[in-house]
Amino acid sequence: MRYLPLTPEDRKAMLATIGAASVDEFYADVPEAARLGGTVEGLPDHQGELAVERHMAGLAAKNRTASEGPFFVGCGAYKHHVPATVDHIIQRSEFLTTYTPYQPEIAQGTLQTLYEFQSQVASLTAMEVANASMYDGSTACAEAALMACRVTRRQKVVLSGGLHPHYAAATRTVCEAQGIEIVQLKPGVDDELALSEAVDDETACVIGQSPNVFGTVTDLTPVADAAHEKKALLVSVFTEAVALGMTMPPGEMGADIAVGEGQSIGNPLNFGGPYVGLFACSKKLMRQMPGRLCGETVDADGQRGFVLTLSTREQHIRRDKATSNICTNAGLCTLAFSAHMTLLGEKGFTHLAQLNHEAACQLADALEGVNGVEILTPRFFNEFAFRIPDNAGEVLEKLDGLGVVGGVRASRLYPGKGMDDVIIAAATECTSDADIKAYADALTKVLA
Amino acid sequence: MSMNSQGRSTTPSEATPHSDVHTVSGSRGLQQREDLIFETGSTAKTGVDLPAPKGGMDRLGGVTRKQSVGLPGLSEPEAVRHYVRLSQKNYAIDLGLFPLGSCTMKHNPRLNEKVARMPGFADIHPMQPQATVQGALELIDQLATWLKTLTGMPAVAMSPKAGAHGEFCGMMAIRGALMARGEIETRTRVLVPASAHGTNPATAVQCGFKVDEIKADARGRVDMEDLKAKLEDSSDIAGIMLTNPNTCGLFETDIREIADLIHEAGGYFYCDGANFNAIVGRVRPGDLGVDAMHINLHKTFSTPHGGGGPGAGPTVLSEALADYAPVPFVVEEDGVFHLVEQRTDEGSDAFGRLCAFHGQMGMFTRALTYMLSHGADGLKQAAEDAVLNANYIQSRLKSVMTPAFDGYCMHEALFSDAFTAEGIETLDIAKAMIDEGYHPMTMYFPLVVHGAMLIEPTETESKAELDRFCDSMLSIAEKAKAGDESLKGAPYLAPMRRLDETQAARKPELRWSEPDKVAAE
């Protein structure tokens, strides 16, 4: 077996050194009834690289990739171009095959990139500090709700009607287990400001999203003001990090905590994971943050270096009193994010944002030209919702038959909420003029 | 002295000790100095070429960013150098033995990486129509089958994003079952051994339970007397969270009895599967009475640790808990795979959703590739070699070091600091290992052993590598025993000396800021 260096002679020699007759002796504590005679039944034996690769390639071939043709699916994950350099960097053995940087003397590579990542995320969100990442945007959102409850010592969380339903669901799961009340405002394309009305003296935080799941961008400043008046926090969410190159970032709107999905920068779609959850907040809340933090310090010779810090918040020290049970971060995905962001720089990043916005504007213009289409999203970045005079699921299926993956039917996210005729579509820098034309032409044909 | 054809000496002359050599650049040979991107880059520089914007389009409605972002950029060659230089300050499994106990730093096969990057897996969207991702759903189904078969469990939740997330999933399933029984208000106590990973108590609390700690006995196992005492009044017992093999690297001898006692008490048995790699292919946790167990794909099934993530923690569930799995999950009907995203069936009283989308697909592809490569026979052999390697280390090191417990270990060897001289700590031994070219073992964990040193070699080390490691360890241990003060200054040969963690925590600097801004504060 190619991954096992021991030879039969090695095993024999080692057993002799130990003084054991066979490896069975090491398993003597396993209850008699639970000992398997041979190998586990029902599974094949080992195979060579060629055979395994063929099997996996066979599965891969059954999927339609986002690059194969016109593709407009968004809703929390976005098809962007990732520079070749990024994948090269994250495949460096020293990054790929190392562990959490618990021994800083031999982990400065990981630690410095985490420090740079935290700095980039803080800049991006216009917040004071950021952590070294969470699993993804949705779990970051859930952790933000818990953090707000710790900070305010209150037990009520209000979710906007434009918060991604998966984020809302993940947050509800975590909160309800701890007896935290969740108030979910009714779904709405342009209702983020309704959070202002919902905040009261028991509210720990309100959670709003911009751009929201329907693509609507909203200045949440009035929500922040309303929340702060009641001594509650504003958690500001985004699922498309590229939007922050143009749209108002959480820090400019008075958010206390900013969370979002970082997949768009440096990370492929991967059918939903692994992604990278971004988490930032104001400096005064820093010690209540969940997850890993990297900080600056010096070594015994006075040289600048970086270490994991404030670990007294964390489960391995605090156990049942920790701020979170989280034990990992998104590791390599943060590196992909950070390396891509370094290649972009402010210049490339804002440029990229502009290309995304323009592609979406062009798409909206083209679809508005299709008979019966009504754009529902009043202000958007690279994604919007629109209504068609037909069932969205059936239309998307027909579009698929014409080679166009036209977006997400809103009813998939909101079953039974009267959104059967709504499609949410996204465009990015990967969307070409030809893709947009193909969509408009195909939709015209399907709706005719 | 021999000379080459140009008269250049080919043998070294007397040298100054290298630690005294000062360099102007701050680099030291292959160790290149590398500053922060915020110091070397600029907001005007970029390493990407993008097409010119068309201009004249704006549907933002004025909700625009007011301040500049403040992100430095680098050209491509500078960026590549930045990260390659930083990479060389990292230790990695590809470089050498990485005996971090409980973390299972085994070789990460490169075929896994190749497969994960196939566009058919990497370039598909979680929300595209299910008819267009049948291969992806089939892959999830195949991996689920492997996990269920290897554990002997009937169900598996695939969406947990890491081990701790899997713990959360399993404990939430227990919560769901208790709710269905109408006992969630009364059954609030979860038993957790003192030796448990910190995530266990943290998870229990996150799920709304109270933690009650059980003692370890002199053999490093659950103290059965203490357990029985804690179960005397069992009306409030929700369950137990137990790692097996446990964090002392030992198989819980009484595991069947523990499972039975918990079940008789009306509770559920959560098994922390962090150490499944010691028994995979030889023992099925389903045969031990387990109700839920997460599986760290990055430990047992070789997905890369990536500097601390991403992980993946699919969680297998018993018949009793299967109905309380989260959405989404995959079902097959006549060769067509469906992703169930909303439940309307009996299980609709389950706890809902753990995260956006369907879990760590990029880790699923790697794990399945690894399983197919090893097969049932190879996985068993891998577990046995991991256990053999650990016992070999234990056997060789015990001449100087103090094993924490008597007898054979499973996949990791645990020592206490009893053999060290006054003033020499586990930390000093760890740092001295760095100078010998090794990553330190896990230190000060588990908490039940004083100055714990937990060494896990994994199955992917050769005997020669293990011998070299043991020679180094024995030499360090002898010094520790003799009270050699030089250990206190280690490491001497790493890219950095010991770092001041106290200073980092006292005045946390978590992000870069302009030097003049810092001065003004």
- Condensed to tens digits (0 to 9), the pLDDT of residues B282-302 reads 999 999 999 999 999 999 999
**In A, which residues are within 8 Å of B107 by CB distance?**
3
Q: What is the ipTM of this complex?
A: 0.97
A84-340 fold: Aspartate Aminotransferase; domain 2 (3.40.640)
Task: Give me the helix-helix angle, B76-87 and A108-125, nearest 10°.
Answer: 130
Q: Return the pLDDT at B4.
A: 58
Instruction: Specify if B461 maps to a domain.
Output: no
**Chain B partners of A408 at a C-beta cutoff of 8 Å?**
127
Average pLDDT of the residues in B483-506:
95
Q: Up-side HSE of residue B512: CA atoms within 13 Å toward CB? A: 24
Q: Which domain holds residue B213?
A: 113-371
Residue in chain B nearest A282 by alpha carbon: B510
The pLDDT value recorded for residue B11 is 67
CB distance from A256 to chain B under 8 Å? no
**Residue ranges covered by each domain of chain A:** 84-340, 345-447
Mean of the per-residue pLDDT values for chain B? Answer: 94
Q: Is residue B103 part of a domain?
A: no
Q: What are the residues facing B416 on neighbouring strands?
A: B402
B147 has pLDDT over 80: yes
Residues sharing a CB contact under 8 Å with residue A380, sequence separation 6 or more, in sequence order = A211, A215, A216, A217, A360, A364, B59, B60
pLDDT in tens, A200-228: 999 999 999 999 999 999 999 999 999 99
Q: Which of A398-402, B11-15, B193-197, B246-250 has the lowest mean pLDDT?
A: B11-15
DSSP string for B103-132: T------HHHHHHHTSHHHHT--TTS-GGG
**Number of domains forming the structure of chain B:** 1
Q: Do A434 and A67 touch, CB atoms closer than 8 A? A: no
Three-state secondary-structure class, residue A373: coil
C-alpha to C-alpha distances, B484 to A85, A135, B291, B427, B454, nearest whole angstrom: 47, 44, 50, 14, 22
**Does the pLDDT value for residue B6 go beyond 90?**
no
pLDDT of residue B521: 45
3-class state of residue A343 by DSSP: helix
Tell me if B55 is assigned to some domain: no
pLDDT over 70 at B150, yes or no: yes
pLDDT given for residue B520 in this prediction: 46
Give the gap in angstroms from C-alpha A230 to the nearest C-alpha of chain B: 25
Q: Please name the residues between 364 and 403 in chain A that touch chain B, using a CB distance below 8 Å.
A: 364, 378-381, 396-397, 400
Share of chain A above pLDDT 70, in %: 100
Residues in chain A with CB shorter than 8 Å from the CB of B389 are 6, 14
Residue B334 placed within a domain: yes
Query: Using one digit for the tens of pLDDT, what is the confidence trace for B89-105?
Result: 999 999 999 999 999 99
Confidence of residue B342 (pLDDT cuts 50, 70, 90): confident
Which residues between 476 and 505 in chain B have a beta carbon less than 8 angstroms from any beta carbon of chain A? Answer: 489, 491, 494-501, 503-505
CA distance A402 to chain B (A): 13
- Residue A315 pLDDT class (50, 70, 90 cuts): confident
Please tell me the distance from the alpha carbon of residue A67 to that of residue A403, in angstroms, as a whole number: 12
Backbone φ, ψ for residue A252 (5° rounding): -80, -10
Mention every residue, 6+ apart, whose C-beta is less than 8 A from residue A146.
A174, A175, A178, A180, A290, A323, A324
pLDDT, residue A321, reads 83
Instruction: Report the pLDDT averaged over residues A295-308.
Output: 95
- The residue of chain B nearest to residue A118, with distances taken between CA atoms, is B511
What percentage of chain A carries pLDDT values higher than 90? 95
**Please, which pLDDT band fits residue A160 given cuts at 50, 70 and 90?**
very high
A248 DSSP assignment: P
Residue A265, pLDDT > 60, answer yes
In a domain, B347, yes or no: yes
The answer to whether residue B189 scores a pLDDT higher than 60 is: yes
Return the higher-pLDDT residue of B216 and B350. B216
- Mean pLDDT, residues B78-82 taken together: 98
Strands (E) located in B341-429: 402-403, 413-416
- For residue B413, the SS3 value is strand
Least Cα separation, residue A71 to chain B (angstroms): 9
Identify which of A62, A107, A325 has the shortest CB distance to residue B138.
A62
Tell me the C-alpha to C-alpha distance, in Å, between residue A399 and each of A362, A385, A431: 19, 17, 16
Q: Which of A79, A328, A333, A429 to mutate to test the interface with B (most CBs of B within 10 A)?
A: A328
Cβ-Cβ contacts under 8 Å, A284 against chain B: none
For range B213-222, the mean pLDDT: 94
Say if A25 is an interface residue toward chain B (CB within 8 Å).
yes
3-state DSSP of A93-125: HHHHCCCCCCCHHHEHHHHHHHHHHHHHHHHHH
Predicted pLDDT of residue B346: 61
Confidence at A329, pLDDT banded by 50, 70, 90: confident
DSSP secondary structure letter of residue A405: B
The partner residue sitting opposite A25, judged by closest CB among B351, B408, B430, is B408
Model confidence at B12: pLDDT above 80:
no
Dihedrals phi, psi of B182, to nearest 5 degrees: 70, 25
Dist. CA B141–CA B237, nearest whole Å: 34
Give the separation between CA A173 and CA B295, rounded to whole angstroms. Answer: 21
Q: Is the dihedral of CA B211, B216, B221, B226 positive or negative?
A: negative
Max intra-chain CA distance, chain B:
90
B488 within domain boundaries? no
Nearest CB to A268; choose among B63, B123, B205:
B123
Confidence of residue A119 (pLDDT cuts 50, 70, 90): very high
- pLDDT tens per residue across span B387-441: 999 999 999 999 999 999 999 999 999 999 999 999 999 999 999 999 999 999 9
Distance CA B112, CA B83 (A): 23
CATH code of the domain containing B147: 3.40.640.10
Q: A88: which chain B residues are within 8 Å (Cβ-Cβ)? A: 80
Cα–Cα distances in angstroms (integers) from residue B313 to residues A427, B243, B274, B303, in the given order: 33, 15, 10, 11
| Residue listed under structure tokens 């001497």 | B492
The pLDDT of A122-132, averaged and rounded, is 98
How far is B416 from B445, CA to CA, in rounded Å? 10
Chains A and B: how many Cβ contacts under 8 Å?
707
**Which residue type sits at A369?**
G
CATH number assigned to the domain with residue range A345-447, chosen from the 4 options 3.40.50.300, 3.30.40.10, 3.40.228.10, 3.90.1150.10: 3.90.1150.10
Residue to mutate among B427, B510, B513, with most A CBs inside 10 A, is B510
Residue B134: CB atoms within 10 A of its CB come to: 17
Mean pLDDT in residue range B339-343: 90
Q: What are phi and psi of A182, to 5 degrees?
A: -110, 125
